[in-house]
Amino acid sequence: MAKAGQDAPKTFEQQLEAISAELVDLLGRKNRNYGSSFDRQMSEYGLPASLIRMDDKLSRLKALSTNEVADEVGESIDDTLLDLAGYALMTLRYLRGNAT
């Protein structure tokens, strides 16, 4: 997302780069707060640990998109999609052997 005083990205690639930068920042902050819990769960439980988290986010997205559930926790569709993309990215990182 463009910050105040900045122009919004124009090209498809620029838009993806902006979203990716936002996601990397979010994942870094969450990883520091949670202490690499994703890597620990992947080491202990394997790929199902990631699949469960992504399924939870898909369920949340379905509920938000169909208005089945009012948003009582302050998690928007945008937040949910970022989380889902984050889990996919962290899973790919882990599977490629880049876990800490």
Q: Give tens-digit pLDDT for 53-94.
A: 999 999 999 999 887 666 677 788 999 999 999 999 999 999
| Contact (Cβ atoms closer than 8 angstroms) between residue 53 and residue 23 | no
User: SS3 letters for the chain?
Assistant: CCCCCCCCCCCHHHHHHHHHHHHHHHHHHHHHHHCCHHHHHHHHHCHHHHHHHHHHHHHHHHHHHCCCCCCCCCCCHHHHHHHHHHHHHHHHHHHCCCCC
Residue 9's pLDDT is: 72
Residues 16-24 have a mean pLDDT of 96
Rounded to 5°, the CA angle 68-73-76 comes to 70
Residue 2's pLDDT is: 54
CA distances from 62 to 52, 74, 86, 91 (A): 15, 16, 18, 22
**Domain boundaries defined on the chain:** 12-95
Residue 5 pLDDT more than 60?
no
